[in-house]
Amino acid sequence: EKMDCYKVQLGTGDNGSEARPRAHEAEDSRVLLWKRNPLPKYAENMYYFSELALTLNAPENGTAPTDSRRRPDQRLMENGRWDEANAEKQRLEEKQRLSRKRREAEAARATEDGKAGPPDRGAP
């Protein structure tokens, strides 16, 4: 199969790029190589991400419970609720800190009693 070779002649980076065939072709014949898709509504509030970029982090059924797309603070942030997202993240982090302190205290008590501590759940 024959493939034409083009040289980018005009590429603004904003809307797409035009090209003209190599030297053996006519100078004024241009071909549109690509064109940027229009941005979604309210793109200025979403870092000017394309529709594709916005869907990459969309929630899906059947994902692991540890998948970051399940984090409530993540969902709030993606919905533009920044203050609520920050408060939720702080709440989750505090809950994790308390849980870790509780596990460490249980392990210390078990060590003092001469028993094996609870299984190590991995260091941060």
* pLDDT at residue 91, rounded to an integer: 96
Q: Are 86 and 74 in contact (CB under 8 A)?
A: no
76 located within any domain: yes
Q: What is the pTM of this model?
A: 0.49
53 located within any domain: no
Average pLDDT rounded to a whole number, residues 13-38: 63
Domain that holds residue 79: 69-113
100 located within any domain: yes
Sign of the torsion formed by the C-alpha atoms of 110, 116, 117 and 123: positive
Please give the helix or strand (H or E) that residue 102 lies within, else none.
Answer: helix 82-112
9 located within any domain: no
11 located within any domain: no
93 located within any domain: yes
Number of domains in the chain: 1
21 located within any domain: no
pLDDT digits (tens, 9 = 90+) for 63-115: 898 888 889 998 898 888 999 999 999 999 999 999 999 999 999 999 888 87
Cα 64 from Cα 70, distance rounded (Å): 9
Please give the helix or strand (H or E) that residue 32 lies within, else none.
Answer: strand 31-35
102 located within any domain: yes
pLDDT digits (tens, 9 = 90+) for 3-14: 666 665 555 555
Which two tokens mark 12? 């603004």
Give the confidence band of 47 by pLDDT, cuts at 50, 70, 90.
confident
